[in-house]
Structure 1
Amino acid sequence: MPSIQSPCISVCDIDPATGLCVGCARSLAEIVAWSSYSDAERAAVMEQLPARFHRLDGLKPEPDHELGRERN
């Protein structure tokens, strides 16, 4: 049994712009195949996750800094 565990955090939502899960940054194909991946395959995906999360974060809209301010 492979020793590298799934990066899933149970926030399963595929971003339509990237095709990546917003919770774990894996593609749907990787999620489906994860249980059959070898440790080497899992490690290769895990190595890519930080860059993928950075990509997902770059797509988030900027917060509305006007919220919470009093109107004149």
Structure 2
Amino acid sequence: MAIVGAQQELLELRGNIVPIRPGFMQDMAKLAEIAGRDDGIVVLIGAGMLMLAEEIRRLRVQRNAVQGFTYAY
């Protein structure tokens, strides 16, 4: 909940997309509350985009680690 609170503060300061960490299921009640606000859609879309970007980054790191291991032979 502290993360969501900090994100709400950033939203109020910046007025647009707020970063959110992957795996935020425990914050769903707070996110539902945010979704009810006029700017909630921007927050949730931004959060989803950042989650997707983080997953892509994680998969690239994993792929590079596997390729590095394969090339070591």
Shorter-chain TM range is: 0.3 to 0.5
TM-score (norm 2): 0.37
TM-score (norm 1): 0.37
Q: Which has the higher contact order (CA 8 A, sep 6+)?
A: 2
